[in-house]
Structure 1
Amino acid sequence: MFRFRKVVLASAMLALAGLAGAQSTSNYPGVGRAATPKEVAAWDIDVRPDFKGLPAGSGTVAKGQDVWEGKCAQCHGIFGESGEVFSPLVGGVTPDDIKKGRVANLINPGYPGRTTLMKVPTLSTLWDYINRAMPWTAPKSLTTEEVYSVTAFLLNLSGVVPDNFTLSDKNIREVQDRMPNRNGMTTQHNLWPGKEFGGAKKSDTGNVACMKDCAPEPKVASFLPDFARNAHGNLAEQNRPVGAQHGVDTTRPEVKAGDVVPAPVAAPAAAAAAQAGAQAKPATAFKVDASGADNKAALALTQKNNCTACHAVDKKILGPSFMDIAKKHAGKTDYLTGKIKSGGAGVWGPIPMPAQTLTDGEAKTVAVWLASGAGR
């Protein structure tokens, strides 16, 4: 009995020592807590090039086509070839590339573009990105089977696997040996940090920091002269509507520091009220009809449901601004509620809007706000 008590006491002391050690390792005492193993596991879903972290499972090309057409094609095209919203995923790969592991069109200056399957060397990258980030409107919503299936479908579109293929954690390493650009990546350059990645020993440059006789900071003065500003049409409309470079709106004069930018034109509903003699309220105080929705609630819903990834209040991003929608569909609450829920394409251009997962009540709150002028 005495030995049993000693074991219990020793175990308790070890547990306390472990707890104290865990707390002492924190660089920010009193702030937060250590993540639990379950919380870490929920985030630790990456798949390495050696396929460590890959979950067990499988998926067929046929299943992948069904998932693709329902959840992916609206942005990437039926065959992964669309470049309207994002860069094309499929194209430019030949049977010879699959045999050699180097995509010839990557060094062909006459080839018009670079697709994902032309560039990506590791199959784990493709699987991991689909699993973590797709579909765009609902990341991490695909099941393991669906991720395997969509990956298999993309590989089939590029001729890497046959139509009746089933991709799984058991055969994915064999498929890696057929990736078109598997030999196209190298770590034998100075961009890698050291020998642990096979990188070069020397740094990129041999420059030495100089802190004397420094040149004055240059002042950027490049601009488009007025006579040439819109000579080739509106540059903002000639760029891909994603990414950092959107192009300047050359239909308007250049805005310089100190310029007064005119306020957006009032929405039709507000203009009609003003003509009728009603005192229009400031946009920040505007409140919509008897549904009880107000600007703050509607704007919060657009942020909560990622509407603001494609729409801004007063400017075009991927889709039209909320104010432009309000002008075009003033008073059409029911119509807007239906469009928010069902999505669609063709009303504002070819870029599709996927069906949204808002509740009917949330969709109506946003629709009422839009139909009433999209005030702030």
Structure 2
Amino acid sequence: MSSSRNFRWAVAGVLAALAVAAAAQGTNRFPGIGRDATPKEVKAWDIDVRPDFKGLPEGSGSVRQGMQVWEAKCASCHGVFGEANEVFSPLVGGTTADDIKTGHAARLKDPGFPGRTTLMKTATLSTLWDYINRAMPWNAPKTLSTEEVYAVTAYLLNLGEIVPEDFTLSDKNMAQVQARLPNRNGMSSAHALWPGKEFQAGAKPDVQAKACMSNCAPAPQVRSALPDHASNNHGNLAQQNRPVGAQHGIETDGGASRKAQPAPAATQVPTALLEKNACIACHGMEQKIVGPAFKDIAGKFGGQTDYLVGKIKSGSTGVWGSIPMPPQPQLSDDDARIIANWLAGNKKP
């Protein structure tokens, strides 16, 4: 018994010594490996804006400026008036002047109203500004300047009749505009999930973390799917997601997209460029998605490389319908010509 007790004490002593050594090593991080991030590097990532507008950069943008940015970079996906198109959900609609007064979007509780637009659901203006800043436009996230983000947000708010046409949104008046958001009172912070006591003092979690392990029902398998004849109607869903985030579309073309696709012309498909610049988010090889199929573009503008370069770089509208194609400023002239040559059918890039 005595020797067993001594052995346990010896093991405990060794473990304590190891714990102290590990703690000491932790204070030194990993000597010789890596470095501390510079202030500029931290600032580049620390861009979130809180509901109390902490983190909001200085700047401003008018509704009129926002309309110009919107038509160039946003309307192709979200519509000229925020009505969106057949791929994306509407941003504007479903709110009234009474909602602006009460802060509750009444139609959220109306079973007869089919849609749930962004302005119906959003409770904090910081969410709108922050998302536009970090994720838009679809094909070139984080390329909008601070002034452009303010301007686009102002234009979107004007479409929802929250601010007038001559309004200029800035970091100085964001709080006043927040007080006019149609669903600003539609979110509760009494669940202790909100950051910091300054938002909800004394709140307690609405769950107690007590696991129930008896009478467990089988886990339901819920899946929504289109019938086979319609699943690929708008192109392969797996190719219509950006290469970031947790959600990815399923293969709806029977795996054909993973096979060798015939190029619209005689040259090899510049797949890497099409994926890098999110071209396949709006264009399918043989089917229209948001914009026309590459096959149709090649058939209409074969041999017209210079014309296609201009349209790719500066954008286009009215050629294939009412949905405009935004300019592609991030695309270099050389890369634009490679894509244009492929579409035009020229054998040499």
Report the TM-score, using the length of structure 1 for normalisation: 0.65
Among 308, 311, 323, the residue aligned to 1:339:
311
Query: Shift of residue 265 of structure 1?
Result: 7.5
1:125 aligns to what? Answer: 127
> Is contact 1:64–1:149 with CA below 8 Å preserved after alignment?
yes
Q: Deviations over 1:19-50 (max 9, x none)?
A: x9998235xx6553321111111121111111
Secondary structure of the corresponding residue to residue 47 of structure 2: coil
> Is contact 1:98–1:160 with CA below 8 Å preserved after alignment?
yes
Residues 108 and 300 of structure 1, relative CA distance in 2, 3 Å threshold:
same
Larger radius of gyration: 1
2:233 aligns to what? Answer: 237
Query: Shift of residue 238 of structure 1?
Result: 6.9
Counterpart CA distance in 1 for 2:156 and 2:257 is 47
Q: Does 2:271 align with 1:299?
A: yes
Counterpart CA distance in 1 for 2:98 and 2:225 is 47
Among 335, 343, 349, the residue aligned to 1:370:
343
Counterpart CA distance in 2 for 1:223 and 1:305 is 29
Residues 264 and 159 of structure 1, relative CA distance in 2, 3 Å threshold:
same
Counterpart CA distance in 2 for 1:223 and 1:31 is 49
Secondary structure of the corresponding residue to residue 237 of structure 1: coil
Q: Does 2:42 align with 1:70?
A: no
Q: Deviations over 1:276-306 (max 9, x none)?
A: xxxxxxxxxxxx5xxxxx76xx333334433
Counterpart CA distance in 1 for 2:257 and 2:140 is 37
Residues 299 and 93 of structure 1, relative CA distance in 2, 3 Å threshold:
same
> Is contact 2:265–2:343 with CA below 8 Å preserved after alignment?
no
1:103 aligns to what? Answer: 105
Secondary structure of the corresponding residue to residue 236 of structure 1: coil
Greater relative CO, 1 or 2 (CA 8 Å, sep 6+): 2
2:29 aligns to what? Answer: 25
Query: Shift of residue 132 of structure 1?
Result: 2.0
> Is contact 2:100–2:162 with CA below 8 Å preserved after alignment?
yes
Report the TM-score, using the length of structure 2 for normalisation: 0.70
> Is contact 1:92–1:114 with CA below 8 Å preserved after alignment?
yes
2:207 aligns to what? Answer: 202
Counterpart CA distance in 1 for 2:57 and 2:90 is 27
Q: Does 2:156 align with 1:174?
A: no
Secondary structure of the corresponding residue to residue 38 of structure 1: helix
Counterpart CA distance in 2 for 1:329 and 1:111 is 44
- Please give the residue correspondences for 1:39-58 in structure 2 after superposition, counting only pairs within 5 Å: 39-58=41-60
Secondary structure of the corresponding residue to residue 232 of structure 2: helix
User: Structure 2 regions of 5+ residues with no counterpart?
Assistant: 1-23, 242-247
User: Structure 1 regions of 5+ residues with no counterpart?
Assistant: 1-19, 250-254, 271-287, 289-293
